[in-house]
Amino acid sequence: MTGKARLSRRRLLAYTASGLALSSLGGCDDTPPPGRYTQADIDLLDNQRSLEAQQRGKGPYGDQRYEGYRGLATLPWFEIDNTGRLICIDDSLPGIVDVHAHLGMSILFKPELDLQAVTPRVRHLLDCDGADPPCELDLDVYINGNFSPEALKQNEKVLTTQGLWGNEVVRSHTIPNLIAEMDTMRVQHSFVLPIKLGLPFGDNISEQWRSAISRADAADRITTGCSVHPRDDYRVEELRLHAAKGARLVKLHPTVQKFYPDDSSLNPLYEEAQRLGMVVFFHGGRAGIEPASSQPFAVPRHYARVLEDFPRLQVILGHAGARDSAAMVDLAVKHQNAWIGIHGQGVSSLEAIINKTGGERLLFGTDWPWYHLGATLAKVLITTDTPERSAVRDAILRNNAVELFPELAERENLG
Ligand SMILES: [Zn+2]
């Protein structure tokens, strides 16, 4: 294996769409500088996990376990249609905007993944409905807590081969499949987020997705963000090129791309994004299943300086900080340019976030194809099911996203 190929494989193994452990990485070059990662940080994550285990099902919404995604049909807003699919039947909902989804990736080898394919069923990475009996879906824990250790191992395999040569799971993560699921869940528009791995011979997922969406004539339903690598020499120029092609959102992933968000070497990138009016979407906080060596990068205080130093830069903090949501939401509340992607939080946690923010700057996100769109939708509907919360519901599902991306409304007016 050549040095280049070895490097690419290492980086590839580091890939995750939402922080899944592909544990072969690590090593001494990841030792955090003093103060970056303390025993208190480590303890906080451990405490979050044990508290969650103790309190699951005992929050304001009680027990929230369902028999797979299709089990959500026991809730008043969903049904199973005559083809056996979960559908959302509440026609009072606004046209939902999902700011956090992905498509399948094929990076290294041909043939490229066919993003135009229609397959009989979406194989979500948490494939609850693919098992018989379906896996238990608990909406009162951080969502990756629904993976069994065996399922996590299996996904490690899936994601490794996803980049290398594709597989039947990833082959279902296509544009028509996403749109079909959006239609069943009343999602009007989705942003898909590529992640640049910084492979030595170039990974051009942003470009691949942009052209696939245009070939599918799906720009009215799906917008792709772009991604650059924080250590790429041409990152600023690349960002400019993406912006020139219409990109409005750039995804940066501290644990996959292994950087501290407040590293001063990123200042020119943030400055340029601010100048271009681009939104930065950070993977936020520790998911708890990434390699331990990557966890220091995502501690909430490392995001603070970006929010302070670039006050006109709009920043989405993905997963509401994941298992670090308490600190991440406190940080977001203090900064008018911070938006909170709610994907992943359980209903008790989402309740706390709504109480802290009043619903302001909260954004709906699903992390498809990791999970069915209905999982996050159900959580929003459960936590906003009172007349007093109806404005909060509309804000989370749509209005906040339109405030951040006004072109969504303009496009509809034209259409
Ligand atoms: Zn994601």
CA dihedral (10, 12, 17, 22) in degrees, to 10, reads -40
Q: Mark the residues whose beta carbon lies below 5 A from ion ligand 1.
A: 17-18, 367
Tell me whether residue 1 is exposed, middle or buried, using C-beta atoms within 10 angstroms of its C-beta: 0 to 12, 13 to 18, 19 or more: exposed
Instruction: State the Cα–Cα distance between residues 80 and 88, nearest whole angstrom.
Output: 9
d(CA 103, ligand 1 centre) in Å: 10
Q: Decide: 401 and 99 in contact? Cβ < 8 Å.
A: yes
352-369: pLDDT as tens digits: 999 999 999 999 999 999
Q: What's the whole-number mean pLDDT along residues 301-323?
A: 98
How far from 314 is each of 68, 104, 204, 275, 405, CA to CA, in Å?
Answer: 36, 27, 25, 11, 11
CA of 74 to the centre of ligand 1 (A): 27
The DSSP H or E segment spanning 78 is strand 78-80
Report the separation in Å between the CA atom of 96 and the middle of ligand 1, taken as the mean of its atom positions.
18
Per DSSP, helices labelled H in 253-293 are: 254-257, 267-276
Cα of 290 vs centre of ligand 1, distance in Å, is 13
The CA 341 to ligand 1 mean position distance, Å, reads 10
What pLDDT shows up at residue 6? 40
CA R_g for the chain? 20
**Separation of CA 17 and ligand 1 centre (Å):** 5
- pLDDT single digits (tens) 242-254: 999 999 999 999 9
Distance CA 280, CA 257 (A): 15
Domains of the chain and CATH, by start: 64-414 (3.20.20.140)
> Distance from the CA of 216 to the center of ligand 1, in angstroms?
22
State the CB neighbour count (10 A cutoff) for residue 136: 13
Gap from CA of 182 to ligand 1 centroid (Å): 16
CA–centroid distance, 368 to ligand 1, in Å, is: 7
**Ligand 1 centroid to residue 91 C-alpha, Å:** 27
Residue pLDDT, tens place only, 153-191: 877 777 766 555 557 888 899 999 999 999 999 999 999
> What distance in Å separates the CA atoms of residue 270 and residue 9, rounded to the nearest whole number?
29
In this structure, the strands spanning 338-341 and 315-317 are parallel
Tens digits of per-residue pLDDT, 357-400?
A: 999 999 999 999 999 999 999 999 999 999 999 999 999 999 99
The DSSP symbol for 302 reads G
User: How many A from CA of 1 to the centre of ligand 1?
Assistant: 31
Alpha-helical (H) ranges within 216-346 are: 235-244, 254-257, 267-276, 304-309, 325-333
